[in-house]
Amino acid sequence: MKVLVLYDYPPSPGGLATQGDLLYKGLKEMGVDAYPVNFESPQEKEWYYRWFKPDAVVGVGYWGHTPHLIMHPQRYGVTPVPWLVADGYIANYREILEELPLILVTSEWVKKVYIRDGLSGKNIEVLPVGCDTDSFRPYDMHDPKITTVREALGVSEKDIMILTIGGDAASKGAQEVMQALALIDNKAPDWKYVCKVWPQPRTEQQNLADLQLATQLGIEKKVIYTTNRISRNFMPCLVAACDIYAAPSRLEGFGMIQVEANACGKPVISINAMGVLDTMIQGKTAFLADVATEISVRETVLGSESGFTPNSKIVFKEPRVVDYRASIHDIAKYLLELMNDANLRKTMGENGRQRAVENFDYRVVAKKFINIVSKRLGIN
């Protein structure tokens, strides 16, 4: 089997780039003849098509990347296999997607979104995102790599460190977590809430809103926002430095960092919806707060990034759910339970580690990919 993997290569620290890079790494370790290439590099992609002659071109992205991931390889007679996440609403390229022999998606929820938006689902298979469980692993909390992370963040040894990581924190449910922490502050042991976000203009504005909320709640001295650029070398130690990973996300097609937190032996608090249902097990590896609110819209505006003319207005026949909000009271209950019970944190973390290794290790995912492609496309 010869596979060309299209993603943000060389890989940035972002989720889609990591998703593609770990698949490439896993395929190589499984003995597959594979090469990586940037999905937006037409000349280099064509170069590989011509001399490498791949059996399949796997492209990591979302439906709006169809011209790069699907149409470009098709132009040269090569079989595309997109590995897609959801992006709220599939507004274009339905006919092209429906005619493909195989589409990979990251969770059962993403598959349901694609079917909701007009695909039959007959060519869709679920392939979870891989995790490097050699790097994301449990650490001794007295390891200098871990203690220096906590010290740099201003978290003491006695503090319970709760962590949320994302492009911004609000989309990962940080505002709901802060409201929950305010509810239990006088009952909980000493704690610090760390939000690691990616530096960008949108994030700066959101950070200000989040910190304003923390001030209104009276917990601003215990909430820490950090916006440094970091690499995948640092990420495992940052995750391993926390006691609880909290991400009751407002929109989540898989939840890569939640799986990485489990791989580090950390219990997770998330939301009982979307892609999380594929990765977390309620009461065993995570606590999943019920959905309190669904945010729906009746119309949206799309542009050239999605294959439309700028400012194209789409009106839905029925309102579409675009966001979820987790129950603040559930989050508060689960936080308090974990904060007061070190043995429970340890047990759930151990369960999470085992599940991550058995189901989401990048080599396991690569093997699943090989089996799916062999069965669906008849490629050996």
Residue 202 confidence (pLDDT) above 80:
no
Per-residue pLDDT, 179: 98
159-195 burial: b if 16+ Cβ within 10 Å, else e: bbbbbbbbebbbbbbbbbbbbbbbbbeeebeebbbbb
Q: Which of 75-84, 128-137, 286-295, 311-320 has the lowest mean pLDDT?
A: 311-320
Query: What SS3 class is residue 264?
Result: coil
pLDDT tens-place string over residues 250-300: 999 999 999 999 999 999 999 999 999 999 999 999 999 999 999 998 888
Instruction: List the domain boundaries for the chain.
Output: 2-130+361-377, 144-290+327-358
If you average pLDDT over every residue of the chain, what do you get? 95
169 DSSP 8-state letter: S
Do the beta carbons of residue 268 and residue 258 sit within 8 Å?
yes
Query: In whole angstroms, how far apart are CA 193 and each of 74, 137, 222?
Result: 48, 22, 6
* First CA to last CA distance, the chain: 5
Residue with tokens 């869709």: 124
Q: Which of 141-150, 195-204, 216-225 has the lowest mean pLDDT?
A: 195-204
Do the beta carbons of residue 39 and residue 69 sit within 8 Å?
yes
Per-residue pLDDT, 310: 85
Do the beta carbons of residue 324 and residue 294 sit within 8 Å?
yes
Give domain 144-290+327-358's CATH superfamily: Glycogen Phosphorylase B; (3.40.50.2000)
User: In the structure, what pLDDT confidence band is assigned to residue 89 with cuts at 50, 70 and 90?
Assistant: confident
Burial of 63 (C-beta count, 10 Å sphere; 0-12/13-18/19+): buried
Domains 2-130+361-377 and 144-290+327-358 fall in the same CATH topology: yes
Residue 83 confidence (pLDDT) above 80:
yes
Residue 101 confidence (pLDDT) above 80:
yes
pLDDT tens-place string over residues 127-179: 999 999 999 999 999 999 999 999 999 999 999 999 999 999 999 999 999 99
Q: For the chain, what's the residue count? A: 380
- Cα distance between residue 262 and residue 284, in whole Å: 11
pLDDT tens-place string over residues 19-61: 999 999 999 999 999 999 999 999 999 999 999 999 999 999 9
- Say which CATH topology domain 2-130+361-377 has: Rossmann fold (3.40.50)
- Alpha-carbon Rg for the chain, nearest whole angstrom, is 21
Rounded mean pLDDT, 204-210: 89
Rounded mean pLDDT, 300-318: 80
- Cα distance between residue 325 and residue 175, in whole Å: 10
Per-residue pLDDT, 105: 98
Per-residue pLDDT, 321: 87
User: In the structure, what pLDDT confidence band is assigned to residue 205 with cuts at 50, 70 and 90?
Assistant: confident
pTM of structure: 0.95
Beta bridge partners of 61: 84
- Cα distance between residue 62 and residue 69, in whole Å: 9
Per-residue pLDDT, 337: 98
Residue with tokens 């003491």: 156
